[in-house]
Amino acid sequence: MSSSSGNGKGFVCPFPGCERVFTKERGMKRHYNYEHAGGREEAAEPAGDWPSPDALAQLGTIDVSELAAPLHSAIARYERRLTELELERRQIQEAIRPVKAAIASLEREHAKPGPKGKRAYAQNASQAKIDAVREAIVAAVKAGELDEFTTTEALRVGREKHGLSMHETTFRLAIATLHESGLLRAVRRTVGGGQVFALVAGESKPYPPDHAGVGVGR
């Protein structure tokens, strides 16, 4: 730090642009150290040396593009792979479709024949139980206890009047069998959707074919 004190002007602050004058050198130094940080402000870069916002924006764009380039390349590579996998999936589907069809055909040909619909359920009721239900209904009709009836009504009369001891499910299966065999006919539906049956008049049909049924007279 240098200062001048000539011609009785005192001591001038050496900081550029300050030019304050002090009568004593000690006062000038105190000012210089506190106000101008001992000259350290002189080392600060002028504001005009920083790049402009436009220059910074242009530099940032260039850097981002360079960073994004390999990422775009990787994305394109994975998308091509996805396309290849989709094509491969379709080819595999086309290849296995006839194999599935052949397997289904073989399974149908060699499947064990089984009962379907009501007959499947009816076969779960033994012949003895079917005969018991039939005899109870014939007896109830002859006694005037039943005419047109639902399954529930026939089961109640059979239990109360003819000593029929049978689970409701088994009774319903037996009724379905008698209906299929032609010994019972469907008359109508109830309001709740239940089926109303009636005993077929005339000579009864045996069930199964080799079983001699109980005739029902007119």
User: Model confidence over 169-180: pLDDT tens digits?
Assistant: 999 999 999 988
Number of domains in the chain: 2
State pLDDT tens for residues 98-147.
Answer: 888 888 888 877 776 655 544 444 445 688 889 999 999 999 998 989 99
Does residue 98 form part of some domain? no
**pLDDT reading at 7 higher than 60:** no
Exposed / middle / buried, residue 109 (Cβ in 10 Å: 0-12, 13-18, 19+):
exposed
Q: Contact, 138 vs 199, CB < 8 A?
A: yes
Q: For residue 31, tell me if it sits in a domain.
A: yes
CATH number of the CATH domain containing 153: 1.10.10.10
Is 168 a member of any domain? yes
This prediction has a pTM of 0.38
The residue count of the chain comes to: 218
Report the chain's mean pLDDT, rounded to a whole number.
76
pLDDT cut 90: percent of the chain above it: 21
pLDDT per residue as tens digits for the range 56-96: 565 555 556 777 778 888 888 899 999 999 999 999 989 99
Q: Cis peptide before 208, with omega less than 30 degrees from 0?
A: yes
Longest pairwise C-alpha distance within the chain:
159
**Which residue has tokens 């380039």?**
69
Structural domain for 22, as ranges: 16-43
The verdict on residue 67 lying in a domain is no
In a domain, 187, yes or no: yes
Residue 78 lies in a domain: no
Residue 79, sorted as left (phi over 0), alpha (psi -120 to 50) or beta, turns out to be alpha
